[in-house]
């Protein structure tokens, strides 16, 4: 746990990321995130309005026990620390990638129903 007397180490970073992932995967939180994703559908703006704030709120509830303030500023400082460690530690990079996949889910975009087909052009040479 990071405190004023204890620096946030790479081991703390791994522990924090694992704790965040565990919190996001807890049944009640996972259910709330699934509902938010379902409501957002394939709309990226809605996903950023519904999924991201909920996941961020859950994450802020975890980082305070690692010495980061449980608000936007603490979240930014935590993210900066993670980015600094992930450059040198593949395990941290992998954990952070898992976190990103939850925080900002990939949308499976489909072309609009009324999209025109792309015509192939053949050049005469």
> Between residues 43 and 28, which one has the greater pLDDT?
28
pTM of the model: 0.77
- Say if CB 60 and CB 102 are below 8 A apart: no
pLDDT at 31: 96
Residue 44 in this model has a pLDDT that exceeds 90: no
Model confidence at 4: pLDDT above 50: no
- Residue 6 DSSP class: B
pLDDT score for 106? 56
What gap in Å lies between CA 125 and CA 113, rounded to an integer? 35
């Amino acid at each position: 746990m990071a405190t004023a007397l204890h620096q946030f180490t790479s081991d703390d970073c791994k522990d924090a990321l694992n704790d965040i992932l565990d919190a996001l995967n807890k049944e009640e939180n996972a259910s709330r995130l699934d509902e938010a994703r379902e409501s957002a559908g394939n709309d990226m703006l809605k996903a950023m309005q519904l999924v991201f704030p909920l996941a961020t709120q859950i994450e802020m509830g975890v980082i305070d026990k690692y010495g980061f303030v449980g608000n936007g500023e603490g979240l930014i400082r935590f993210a900066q620390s993670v980015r600094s460690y992930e450059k040198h530690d593949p395990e941290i990079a992998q954990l952070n990638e898992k976190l990103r996949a939850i925080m900002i889910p990939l949308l499976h975009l489909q072309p609009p129903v009324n999209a025109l087909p792309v015509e192939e052009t053949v050049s005469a040479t």
